[in-house]
Amino acid sequence: MPLRRSALYVPGDKPRALEKARALNADLLILDLEDAVAPEYKVAAREQVREALRQGFPRDREVLVRLNALSTLWGDDDLQMLLGAAPHGIVLPKAEDPAEVRSLNLGIPLWLTIETPRGVLRLEELAAVRGVAGLVMGTSDLVRELRARHTPGREGLLFALSKTVTCARAFGLTVLDGVYLDFRDQEGFARACAQGRDLGFDGKTVIHPGQLETVNRVFAPSAGEVQRAREVLSAWQDARAEGKSVAVYAGQLIEQLHVSEAQEVLRLAAEVAARGVHERDSSEQF
């Protein structure tokens, strides 16, 4: 899978934000026609996103567009525009109907936002639909619909978060954690990133450029993890050269599954190093 540590929502009705996004160090951009755009600006946002896609983005930047739900006044026109503009993917909000998702298998990878109780309950059906490329947590809406509360440990969301990761892994999809709304709270944001990483998410959606440095760092292997991976592979290779089926490293048995984990760490580290582009200061606001 390509590197997808960070996915930045970019308001579709703000030309300056669309322009700035080209130079920001986000692995993914999600040009937003839905929640970030007020009703009176929906039509203008659609045209601005169309023009931004026509102008193009850097080759190493994956660009998705979140359309309005098809049940809204704007959804069908959004979809028609996107079929002509051909972004890297279409993000469907409030995905909960497998039949609707199947109807959108139109040749552009589809990403499903899981942000309702019905969406969580039907995750297996949704993830199995042909053409689906990824799952995106919509944690803000889901907290509201569950009548849960926003807590530092996200206790009310743990079932939904884990189920979404499990379904993504079962069907070979990318899975992104939800946003952290207080973009000034870098410490809390770092903890939320670490929790998402530990739960198995590939990356996290963000709402502000100032969050990019933290999310990219947390979802990348640390120097210590890279070193350990190299040493595990070295121990394994030495053991195999001696005709052994297992190795010992730091007092622990090393089997093939540990080798696969180490190889994945080194693959991710290589992807991060290859990205290695120094972008403009990401602390600025849109």
Annotated binding-site ranges for Mg(2+): 115, 141
Specify the residue for token string 């322009």.
19
**What residue numbers does the annotated binding site for substrate cover?**
66, 115
**What residue numbers does the annotated binding site cover?**
66, 115, 141
Q: What values do phi and psi take at 132, rounded to 5?
A: -75, 130
Q: What SS3 state is found at 29?
A: strand
Which sign does the torsion angle of CA 107, 111, 115, 119 carry? positive
**How many residues are present in the chain?**
286
**Cβ(188)–Cβ(156) below 8 Å:** no
Structure tokens at 200: 């198995």
Which residues, including other chains, have CB under 8 Å from residue 167's CB and lie 6 or more apart?
123, 124, 126, 127, 135, 173
Specify the residue for token string 């709304």.
181
First to last CA, the chain: 29
How many helices (H) does the chain have, and how many strands (E)? 12, 10
- Around Cβ 224, how many Cβ atoms within 10 Å? 8
